[in-house]
Amino acid sequence: MELLKNLEWRYATKNFDPEKKVSTDDLEKLKRAIQLSVSSYGLQFYKVLIIEDQEIRKELKPVSWNQNQITDASHLFVFCNYSEVKTEDINAFIHLTAKTRNINYDNLQGYGDFISSKLNEKTKAQQTNWLERQPYLALSTLLMACAELKIDACPMEGFETDKYNEILGLKEKGLNACVIASVGYRVEGDNLRHTPKVRKPMDQLFEEVKQAVPVAV
């Protein structure tokens, strides 16, 4: 599998070459990969900011634990989840589905009502937790796409969410900075590229469930 080779090749790159930039063509491929990523119910309740501007990234660096990846990488991807579940966003998804698949909107209203009912079963805290998990699905797709294109990436949670929201004006847009990833090319002399991956052994990571566990009565 080429995928396994790509995953062996990648690592969370800490040292980026600031002189090497991701091409416009490759950037479009990464965007397309994210667009095609899976999401719960297909809703894609997130937005991805792609920041190349150095001044903005210099402002973000101090609230990102002063990590050099923020400014040295070619681009910074900021994955933002929706701040709340809104009926109009679900309706917009149903309208888009009807238009894309050439289906009468009325025939899909039942599906929209089902999604609304399942999400509204959650408490506000549960909805927030659900919303904040969504961007990680897209992040995973970005990392795999980068590996295939031999573009380095570093997923990061080491940043101050509130400061990102403030600097990027996200709260006013109903968004919340959830997770980020720096994207670019590794410094050739980076020793981490040759460091063996630390992963749990297969027999510890996986367990085959061959029959249901009896429920105590």
What does each of the 217 residues of the chain score in pLDDT, given as a tens digit?
A: 899 999 999 999 999 999 999 999 999 999 999 999 999 999 999 999 999 999 999 999 999 999 999 999 999 999 999 999 999 999 999 999 999 999 999 999 999 999 999 999 999 999 999 999 999 999 999 999 999 999 999 999 999 999 999 999 999 999 999 999 999 999 988 888 889 999 999 999 999 998 887 877 7
Tell me the sheet residues that pair with 51. 76
Q: What 3-state DSSP class applies to 189?
A: coil
Per-residue pLDDT, 212: 81
Structure tokens at 36: 């095609």
Alpha-carbon span 89 to 95, nearest angstrom? 10
Fold of 2-205: NADH Oxidase (3.40.109)
Q: Coil, helix or strand for 156?
A: strand
Instruction: Check if the beta carbon of residue 80 is closer than 8 Å to that of residue 48.
Output: yes
Rounded to whole angstroms, how far apart are CA atoms 168 and 164? 6
Q: In what side-by-side order are the strands of the sheet with 75-82?
A: 46-51, 75-82, 175-184, 152-156
Q: Which residues contact 137 (CB under 8 A, 6 or more apart)?
A: 37, 38, 39, 40
Distance CA 185, CA 26 (A): 13
What are the extents of the domains in the chain? 2-205
| HSE value, Cβ hemisphere, 13 Å, CA-based, for 48 | 25
Name the residue with tokens 């994955």: 79
Q: How many residues are recorded in the chain?
A: 217
| Spatial distance between the Cα atoms of 190 and 14, rounded to a whole number of angstroms | 8
Q: In this structure, are strands 175-184 and 46-51 parallel, antiparallel, or unpaired?
A: unpaired
Would you state the structure tokens that stand for residue 7, as one six-digit string? 């995953």
Could you tell me the pTM of the whole model? 0.95
End-to-end CA distance of the chain: 46
